[in-house]
Structure 1
Amino acid sequence: MQENQNPQAEEVLEPVATATEEAGVDCAERLVQLEAELADVKEQFLRAKAETENQRRRAAEDVAKAQKFAIERFASELVSVKDSLEMALLDQSGKFDNLKLGVDLTLKQLLAAFEKSQISEINPIGDKLDPHRHQAISTEESDAEANTVVRVMQKGYLLADRVLRPAMVVVAKAKS
C-alpha cells in the first residue's frame, strides 16, 4: 500500500471529517429534540380534540334538557289554576255568585300564566283577514269592507310572535 504522499491533503481532510462527525451528532440531537416536540404537539392535539368532544356532548345534553323541560315554568303556573278549579267544584254552598267569583279568579290566574309565558290572544275584529293568523269559516253581508273580520267564533293565540292557534272568524262580504 502506498502512503499518502500529499501532507497538505491530510491537513485539509482531517478538519472536514471532524466537522462531519460533529454535524452528525448535532443532527442526531436535533432529531431527538424534534421528535420530543412532535410528541408534545400530538398530546396537545389529542387533549384539544377530547375537550372539543366533551363540549359538544355537554351542549347536546343541555339542548336535550332544555327541550324536555321547556314547558316546566308554564306547567307550574297551570298547577295553581287546576287547584282553583278543583276548589270550585268542591264548593257545596250552591251560591251562584260564589261560583262565578271563583271562576273569575281562576280565569285571572290563567291569564297571568299566559302572560308570563308570552301567550296572547288574537282578537281581530275590524282587521283585514290575515290567513297566517285567521281562519275564515264563513262570510256574511256587512257594511264593513270586504274581507274584514266582523265576528270571532273562536279566539286565536300567539306564543311570542308565532301563531299557536289561528282565530276562527267570520268575514264581511259586500251586500248584494
Structure 2
Amino acid sequence: MQDQENQAVPNPEAEAAPAQPSTPADAGAPSLEEQLASTEARLAEMHDAFMRAKADGENIRRRAQEDVAKAHKFAVESFAEAMVPVKDSLEMALKVESPSLDSLKEGVEMTLKQLNSAFEKNRLLEIMPVQGEKLDPNKHQAVAVVPAEQEANTVVSVLQKGYMIADRLLRPAIVTAAQAK
C-alpha cells in the first residue's frame, strides 16, 4: 500500500490549466516598454536639469561681465570724489582779485594737503628714495651714472618722485646712480 500512496495522484486543476513557460516578465521584472518609458522619463528629467544648469551658467557669466564692465566704468569714482575738493580750491584761488604772496602760499599749501589726502585715501604712494639707498629697478629708473663717494649702484640724487598704486608701479622715481669705482 505504501507504493500506492507514493504514486502521484492526478490533480484535476493542473490538467485544466496548461503550464506556461516562466519569463523574466513573469518574475516581477518590467516589460521592455515599461523600461523604455522609464528611461525616456529619466532622460527628459536629466535634459531639463542640464538646460537649467546651462541657463544658470549663462546668467552667472552675463552678470559677471556686467560687474566687470561697471567696475571698469566706475573704477576712478573714489579718486574723482577725492579730487573734486582740490579742483574747487584751485578755482577759488583764481577768483581772488589781488592775492598776496602769503595768501597764495597758504592756499597752495592747503590745496597740497587736500591732494596728499586724496592720494593717501586711494593708496597712491610716493616713491622718494634717499641718497645712498640701493638702486631698485622695480621702483627706480637711473637716467645717469655719476662718480660719487658712495657705494656703486646706489641713489645719488632724485630728479623726479615716483608713484605706486597699492603694490603696482605707476611711475618709477627718476634718479642718478653712483658709478662703480
TM-score normalized with structure 2 length: 0.80
- Percent same amino acid at aligned positions? 53
CA contact (8 A) 1:88 1:99 kept: yes
Deviation at 1:140, TM superposition (A): 2.9
The structure 2 residue matched to 1:62, chosen from 44, 67, 74, is 67
Distance in 1, matches of 2:135 and 2:30, equals: 88
Aligned pairs (5 A) from 1:92-111: 92-111=97-116
The structure 2 residue matched to 1:172, chosen from 155, 167, 178, is 178
Aligned to 1:117: 122
Given the alignment of the two structures, is residue 129 of structure 1 paired with residue 120 of structure 2, yes or no?
Answer: no
The answer to which of 31-40 and 144-153 deviates more is 31-40
Distance in 1, matches of 2:40 and 2:179, equals: 85
The structure 1 residue matched to 2:162, chosen from 140, 156, 164, is 156
The answer to which of 100-109 and 84-93 deviates more is 84-93
Aligned to 1:3: none
Deviation at 1:49, TM superposition (A): 0.7
CA contact (8 A) 1:81 1:110 kept: yes
Q: Which amino acid aligns with 1:11?
A: P
Distance in 1, matches of 2:80 and 2:45, equals: 53
Deviations 1:127-146 (A, max 9, x none): 11122211112233322212
Distance in 1, matches of 2:30 and 2:166, equals: 74
Deviations 1:98-143 (A, max 9, x none): 1111111111111111111111111112211122211112233322
TM-score normalized with structure 1 length: 0.83
Deviation at 1:80, TM superposition (A): 1.3
Deviations 1:55-108 (A, max 9, x none): 111111111211221111111111111111111111223211111111111111
Higher helix share: 1
Distance change (3 Å), C-alpha of 1:20 and 1:118 = closer
Given the alignment of the two structures, is residue 78 of structure 1 paired with residue 83 of structure 2, yes or no?
Answer: yes
Q: Which amino acid aligns with 1:148?
A: T
Unpaired runs of 5+ residues, structure 1, are 1-6
CA contact (8 A) 1:143 1:174 kept: no
Distance in 1, matches of 2:144 and 2:24, equals: 100
Deviation at 1:172, TM superposition (A): 2.1
